């Protein structure tokens, strides 16, 4: 194993000189470094979700809004996404406990939150069965269309 410091130097040179591949071999010792080809990697449109259906209630598709969470989610978890633009409320009213929280079991008809837009409150249903893995939005936060609200581990 070559000295870590040398490798660090190699990486620095690689990045500062914008190389995509660097490989060094010396007898038994071999180091190979690779970076993504910068071409087009800055153009953001790769982040556009693959689907473009009318309204994605849920689904493991990689949604732009959720970033890495989604990638991770894509493996096994399922998202519940916002079907609208509005304000997220985790409970029916300030006094009541939240509809669901991490660990809650949900069925397709389970109400998981309400979204308020133009003074109208809409109940959002899970539309899937499983256990809430994570709540992705805080109470009272604004959410946009297609934004993941919950991660659910399907049962």
Partner 1 sequence: MFRRILIANRGEIALRIIRACRELNIEVACVFSEDDRGSAYLELADQAICIGGASPKESYLKSDRLIAAAEVAKADAIHPGYGFLAENAAFAEKCRACNIEFIGPNAAAMRLLGDKASARSVAKRAKVAIIPGSDGVLEDDNEAVRLAEKIGFPVMIKAAAGGGGRGMRVAYDKTDLLSSLKQARQEADNAFKDSSVYIERYIDRPRHVEVQILADRHGNVVHLYERDCTLQRRHQKLVEESPSPAIDTRTRESLCAAAVKLAKAARYDSAGTVEFLVDSRGRFYFIEVNTRIQVEHPVSELVTRIDLIKAQIRAAAGEPLGFVQKAVRPAGHAIECRINAEDPDEKFRPCAGVVEKFRVPGGPGVRVDTHGYEGYRLSPQYDSLLAKLLVHQPTRPEAIRCMQRALREFHIEPLRTTLPFLRKMMAHPDFLDGNIDTGFVERSF
Among 77, 112, 146, 152, binds partner 1 (CB under 8 A): 146
Is 48 a residue that touches partner 1 (CB under 8 A)? yes
Whole-angstrom distance, CA of residue 72 vs CA of residue 10: 30
Paired sense of beta strands 78-81 and 29-34, if any: unpaired
Is 17 a residue that touches a second copy (CB under 8 A)? yes
Q: Which residue number, 9 or 155, has a Cβ lying nearer to a second copy?
A: 9
DSSP 41-109: TT-GGGGS-S---S---B-SS--GGGTHHHHHHHHH-EEEE-SSSEEEESSSSTTSPPS--TT-EE-TT
Is 18 a residue that touches partner 1 (CB under 8 A)? yes
Give the interface with a second copy as residue ranges (CB under 8 A): 1-4, 6-11, 13-15, 17-39
List residues binding partner 1 (CB under 8 A).
15-16, 18, 38-49, 52-55, 64-65, 84-87, 117-118, 142-147
């Amino acid at each position: 194993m070559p000295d870590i410091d040398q490798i660090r130097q190699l990486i620095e040179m690689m990045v500062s000189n914008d190389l995509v591949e660097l490989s060094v071999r010396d007898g038994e010792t071999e180091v190979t470094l690779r970076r993504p080809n910068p071409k087009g990697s800055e153009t953001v449109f790769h982040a556009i979700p693959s689907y473009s259906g009318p309204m994605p209630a849920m689904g493991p598709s990689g949604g732009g809004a959720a970033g890495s969470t989604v990638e991770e989610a894509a493996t096994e978890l399922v998202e519940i996404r916002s079907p609208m633009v509005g304000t997220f409320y985790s409970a029916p009213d300030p006094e009541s406990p939240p509809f669901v929280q991490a660990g809650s079991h949900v069925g397709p008809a389970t109400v998981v939150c309400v979204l308020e837009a133009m003074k109208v409150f809409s109940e959002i249903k899970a539309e899937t069965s499983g256990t809430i893995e994570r709540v992705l939005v805080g109470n009272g936060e604004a959410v946009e269309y297609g934004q993941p609200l919950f991660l659910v581990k399907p049962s």
